[in-house]
Amino acid sequence: MKSLPELLEEVKVRVVPTEREKEKVLTKVEKVRLRLERAFSKLPYPVEVLLQGSVAKDTWLKGEMDVDIFVRFSPELDKEEIASMTLSTVKKLFGERRCVERYAEHPFVTVRLLEMNVDVVPCYRSEKGEWKSATDRTPYHTDFVLSKLSKEEKNEARLIKRFAKGIGVYGAEIKVGGFSGLLCELMAHHFGSFLKMAEAMARLRLPLLIDPMKYYEGREDEARDAFGTGFIVVDPIDRKRNVAAAVTQTKLNEMVVASAAFLNGPSIRFFFPKVKDLSLGQLKRKILAEKRQLLAIQIPKIEAPPDILWGQLYSARDKVLTIMKNGDFDVMRIAAWTDEKRISLIVMELGTTILPHLKLKTGPPVTSPHTLRYLDLYAGGGAAAGPWIQEDRLFILARRRYTEAATYLKKAIKEYVKAGAIPSLVAKELESGAKILVGGEIPASLKGKDAGAFLSGFIDGRPEWMRSVWAESVRKKRT
Amino acid sequence: MKSLPELLEEVKVRVVPTEREKEKVLTKVEKVRLRLERAFSKLPYPVEVLLQGSVAKDTWLKGEMDVDIFVRFSPELDKEEIASMTLSTVKKLFGERRCVERYAEHPFVTVRLLEMNVDVVPCYRSEKGEWKSATDRTPYHTDFVLSKLSKEEKNEARLIKRFAKGIGVYGAEIKVGGFSGLLCELMAHHFGSFLKMAEAMARLRLPLLIDPMKYYEGREDEARDAFGTGFIVVDPIDRKRNVAAAVTQTKLNEMVVASAAFLNGPSIRFFFPKVKDLSLGQLKRKILAEKRQLLAIQIPKIEAPPDILWGQLYSARDKVLTIMKNGDFDVMRIAAWTDEKRISLIVMELGTTILPHLKLKTGPPVTSPHTLRYLDLYAGGGAAAGPWIQEDRLFILARRRYTEAATYLKKAIKEYVKAGAIPSLVAKELESGAKILVGGEIPASLKGKDAGAFLSGFIDGRPEWMRSVWAESVRKKRT
């Protein structure tokens, strides 16, 4: 077995580009930047075209490079103007065919070039603290990382990023709710190394306050007043912002558990998980053999930028959870997923998809003014059994209107959509093309590797890293 | 429709004996008392043979007379002595064949004579406050009722008793946990009439303190310190005793609800309920048609005096409830019953008698020291699904060991009996002859009208008075 330092060295070899590789990347990227700079210089406004993101910060993962080029406008222009100028200039330069219009806080363009994807993002030349758009901070962040992080820390940031990716907690987008690239870099700077970060996470007790610029030194209470008592990483260029704000409790705790598990039994699989997903056919057989009580809503194509789509999908998932609970269904777990193109899924596993016919219904306290009306309603035999008096209350056994989860969900969704209680984009599709599927119908109705991988992961229940690490350790024990 | 006064008059005619009837009863009873007095006078101790109970107090219900004759001994004798002397003297006088030995706090004898049953009860000639046995208070109670209750109040006490009997809350014995005869008499004295009692009960708010001798006047706090904050009726001949102590919350509230219902729609059926029980065959068909999720334990003959038997049976019922809850079974209702001879039953209605195969199991909090051990246990695939991390905890789906209520209960009862956690008499029978029955098996395995009536009542769920009153009101509406 490899020692821990050997293991980390092996990961480093896989994530830190060599000097030669770095040079090659930077040369190529600079060419693209120059082409963009030339194109944007024709606009009637002074703009800067800046290399940003992990390539600029020297923290990108070997072979996983996404290039960010920011176009910085005067704060006097309005958001729509800078967005449309960016889109039209980029499209004109590279041809519409290569460009995908995308959206975070405001629109940006992804250009698909031969060897890389380049995001071209408009922003403002804002003074610190006078942010006009969320992307205005990025150039300052780049400066911070470049000037404050040592070369070693940048490479440790690469390890942290790879670990976060491996355990599925990388990315601040709504889909993930995890650790952004900047957050990984700030953690590398704060803890000094991946290993120290993992040790700190493994024994994490909230609140945790990381404050690179010591804005709140000696005034930690002030930070807690501003950010609450969770996981707080004060933005080094904006004392009012928590860089870790997007990290959900679940993702933070996945980091905690994975860190503890890694330290207890280091494995390359935390960084590079390998899982064998079941095929849709295998999934169907497994669901039927184990009588898994699954229920799914399959929703057709929803047209929206990813953050909007995932946001609405997660919110719909939470509504569905409420709906099912209101119908007395015991939802043991629920998840939502979309390929961002053709299909969205909300899948849940219930205690049972078929409820008993009768349920205990608590009536009024005996001393309530409603007692006589309650008797008038039920004492003549209107209930399946009762009313009876037990201690200080009346009770009946009532007949359920809906015993089948699928039937109930169909009806309840209609009512919720009608009442406007489900996010609009999902609601639209629910009304028209959505299908409700039970058990073995779910894999039978899915297509494609991605959907299969999602369902396989859901049925297994474990995060990928856990499946991968433990499969590895079982394999090792056997040999 | 009859007016309320007409209705109460009708009840009075049925429960108050005429003067002629009273005379006849008293003459007959006095003859029995004299025979007993003569027999007991042969003992080497001075004893008094006293007529007690409702006949002595002029509060018995026409045609439902049970005669109590107390034999009062010197407090110097011990309990076993006075019990055995009473038993042997009575048996010698009336012949063993007519005598049934019974047991409350100490043994007494029921003698079956031609026109009446006579309980012959030994007690002590105790001074007030120096009670040697619980029955010593009875002669003082009789004196109190005779001297303090007007003739009218005695007849109102008869109405209250009949109402309490009609709605199933009459009797302080463990089987019922309801209103004793003395309690009904004291309520008649306190409220002045059945109607005023019903009005007070219908709007009952606890604590309620009734204190005929005004022991606690101006010091009600003291009474609450002594008796708690429930339904308190201070014994007029013993300020330390709550005559209503045996009344359970459920029985008190049945009185509350029945009183409110009576005032809202007076009916003779509250006093004299008539119900049509389903036959065992009908019950079986109903259970199957409605998929009622019933489970029963049928226990053979248990040899014990009624209060002991019912006490152990109720305690076993509560244990069974705990057992079922521990096995995740949703017990919607549970009841116990015995014919006091051949059979005892614990019957329950479940949400479902068959649980799903999988259950959600909450694991340790992620920051717990047990997290790594938990992963070692389950992360290799030991659970049906998971572990996964949700918010601050680990979870798995586990396979249930027992999904069938009957199988589970059989196993659990064995363990509980082994651990000595079930009352001894019931445990003995559970170990040997008890049967666990599901659904339609229950009526199929029962015999006799009483068992059928109990099961019919359980399946219906309503108290008898409710079934009777509402059947009546439905009948009236139809005609």
ipTM metric: 0.94
Q: What is the mean pLDDT of residues B171-194?
A: 97
Chain B CB contacts of A359 below 8 Å: 332, 351
Q: Could you tell me if residue A169 is inside a domain?
A: yes
For residue A109, give the CATH number of its domain: 3.30.460.10
Q: Residues B213-228, buried b or exposed e (16+ Cβ, 10 A)?
A: eeebeeeeeebeeebe
In the predicted model, is pLDDT for residue B323 greater than 90?
yes
- A339 & A473 share domain: yes
* Cβ atoms of residues B438 and B406 within 8 Å: yes
DSSP B343-393: EEEEEEEES-SB--SEEEEEEEETTSTTHHHHHHHHTTTTSSEEEEEETTE
Chain B CB contacts of A386 below 8 Å: 461-462
Six-digit token pair at A157?
A: 């940031």
Element (H, E) at B335: strand B331-338
Q: How far apart are CA A192 and CA B46, in angstroms?
A: 100
- B313 & B450 share domain: yes
DSSP B102-123: EESSSEEEEEE-SS-EEEEEEE
Which of the two residues, B304 and A330, has the higher pLDDT score? A330
Q: How far apart are CA A351 and CA A291, in angstroms?
A: 11
For residue B259, give the CATH number of its domain: 1.10.1410.30
Q: What is the mean pLDDT of residues B170-181?
A: 96
Residue among A358, A396, A455, A458 with most chain B CBs within 10 A, to mutate: A358
Q: What is the mean pLDDT of residues A300-322?
A: 92
Q: How far apart are CA B346 and CA B423, in angstroms?
A: 14
Instruction: Please tell me which residue of chain A has the smallest CA distance to B368.
Output: A203
* Whether the bond into A207 is cis, omega within 30 of 0: yes
Identify the band that residue A469 occupies on the pLDDT scale cut at 50, 70 and 90. very high
- A239 & A321 share domain: no
Identify the band that residue B210 occupies on the pLDDT scale cut at 50, 70 and 90. very high
Q: Could you tell me if residue B275 is inside a domain?
A: no
Q: How far apart are CA A321 and CA A410, in angstroms?
A: 14
pLDDT at A210: 97
- A346 & A413 share domain: yes
Strand positions, DSSP E, A222-354? 231-235, 238-242, 294-300, 331-338, 343-350
Instruction: Please tell me which residue of chain A has the smallest CA distance to B352.
Output: A356
Identify the band that residue B215 occupies on the pLDDT scale cut at 50, 70 and 90. very high
pLDDT digits (tens, 9 = 90+) for B449-474: 899 999 999 999 999 999 999 987 76
Out of B349, B371, B473, name the one closest to residue A260 (CB).
B371
pLDDT at A426: 84
Contact between chains at A249 and B466 (C-beta distance less than 8 A): no
Share of chain B above pLDDT 90, in %: 85
Identify the band that residue B231 occupies on the pLDDT scale cut at 50, 70 and 90. very high
Contact between chains at A466 and B396 (C-beta distance less than 8 A): no
Instruction: Work out the burial of residue A63: count CB atoms within 10 Å of its CB; fewer than 13 is exposed, 13-18 middle, 19 or more buried.
Output: exposed
Task: Scan for tokens 């930690």, then name that residue.
Answer: A220
Contact between chains at B333 and A358 (C-beta distance less than 8 A): no
- A35 & A50 share domain: yes
| A144 to chain B, closest Cα gap in Å | 32
Contact between chains at A461 and B351 (C-beta distance less than 8 A): no
Q: Which residues pair with B124 in a beta bridge?
A: B73
Low-confidence winner among B23-32, B94-103, B371-380 (lowest mean pLDDT): B94-103
Q: Could you tell me if residue B235 is inside a domain?
A: yes
Q: How far apart are CA B164 and CA B148, in angstroms?
A: 22
| B312 to chain A, closest Cα gap in Å | 20
pLDDT at A102: 84
Out of B372, B392, B462, name the one closest to residue A260 (CB).
B372
Chain A CB contacts of B388 below 8 Å: 333, 461-463
| A123 to chain B, closest Cα gap in Å | 35
Low-confidence winner among A254-268, B95-109, B155-169 (lowest mean pLDDT): B95-109
Among B118, B110, B11, CA closest to B55: B118
pLDDT at A292: 96
Q: What is the mean pLDDT of residues A189-217?
A: 97
Residue among A375, A377, A456 with most chain B CBs within 10 A, to mutate: A375
- A317 & A443 share domain: yes
Q: Which of A66, A100, A135 is the last residue of a domain?
A: A135
Any idea what DSSP says for residue B333?
E
Q: Could you tell me if residue B144 is inside a domain?
A: no
Which amino acid, one-letter code, is at A167?
I
Q: Which of A223, A243, A270 is the last residue of a domain?
A: A270
Arithmetic mean of pLDDT over chain B = 94
- B163 & B125 share domain: no
pLDDT at A258: 98
Chain A CB contacts of B381 below 8 Å: 470, 474
pLDDT at B74: 95
Task: Scan for tokens 């959509």, then name that residue.
Answer: A417
- A231 & A266 share domain: yes
Identify the band that residue A448 occupies on the pLDDT scale cut at 50, 70 and 90. confident
- A238 & A368 share domain: no
In the predicted model, is pLDDT for residue B52 greater than 90?
yes
Identify the band that residue B197 occupies on the pLDDT scale cut at 50, 70 and 90. very high
Contact between chains at B397 and A333 (C-beta distance less than 8 A): yes
Contact between chains at B205 and A470 (C-beta distance less than 8 A): no
Chain A CB contacts of B371 below 8 Å: 257, 260
Q: Could you tell me if residue B33 is inside a domain?
A: yes
Contact between chains at A257 and B366 (C-beta distance less than 8 A): yes
- B106 & B255 share domain: no
Among A247, A77, A64, CA closest to A172: A247
Any idea what DSSP says for residue B404?
B
Chain B CB contacts of A390 below 8 Å: 250, 333
pLDDT digits (tens, 9 = 90+) for B69-102: 999 999 999 999 999 999 999 999 999 999 988 8
Instruction: Work out the burial of residue B104: count CB atoms within 10 Å of its CB; fewer than 13 is exposed, 13-18 middle, 19 or more buried.
Output: middle
Contact between chains at B375 and A261 (C-beta distance less than 8 A): yes
Task: From residue B262, give the alpha-carbon distance in Å to each of A196, B189, B304.
Answer: 76, 21, 38
The number of C-beta contacts closer than 8 angstroms across A and B is 159
Q: Could you tell me if residue A141 is inside a domain?
A: no
In the predicted model, is pLDDT for residue A331 greater than 80?
yes
Torsion angle of C-alpha atoms B322, B327, B329, B332, degrees rounded to 10: 0
Q: How far apart are CA B436 and CA B431, in angstroms?
A: 12
Q: B391 is in which domain, residue-wise?
A: 358-399
DSSP A361-419: EEEEETTSTTHHHHHHHHTTTTSSEEEEEETTEEEEEEE-S--BHHHHHHHHHHHHHHT
Task: Out of A129-133, A432-436, B12-16, give the one with best mean pLDDT.
Answer: B12-16
- B289 & B421 share domain: yes
Contact between chains at B470 and A381 (C-beta distance less than 8 A): yes
> Angle at CA A407, nearest 5°, toward A403 and A408?
65
Q: Which of B216, B247, B270 is the last residue of a domain?
A: B270
Q: Could you tell me if residue A42 is inside a domain?
A: yes
Chain A CB contacts of B391 below 8 Å: 249-250, 253
Out of B367, B388, B460, name the one closest to residue A462 (CB).
B388
* Cβ atoms of residues A140 and A88 within 8 Å: no
- The total of structural domains in chain A comes to 4
Q: Which residues pair with A299 in a beta bridge?
A: A344
Contact between chains at B396 and A461 (C-beta distance less than 8 A): yes
- A60 & A196 share domain: no
Q: Could you tell me if residue B96 is inside a domain?
A: yes
Q: What is the mean pLDDT of residues B101-127?
A: 89
Six-digit token pair at A281?
A: 């056919």
Residue among B257, B325, B368, B478 with most chain A CBs within 10 A, to mutate: B257
Chain A CB contacts of B474 below 8 Å: 380-381
pLDDT at B475: 60
pLDDT at A472: 72
| A136 to chain B, closest Cα gap in Å | 32
Identify the band that residue B387 occupies on the pLDDT scale cut at 50, 70 and 90. very high
Low-confidence winner among A455-459, B5-9, B105-109, B432-436 (lowest mean pLDDT): B105-109
Out of A203, A371, A462, name the one closest to residue B257 (CB).
A371
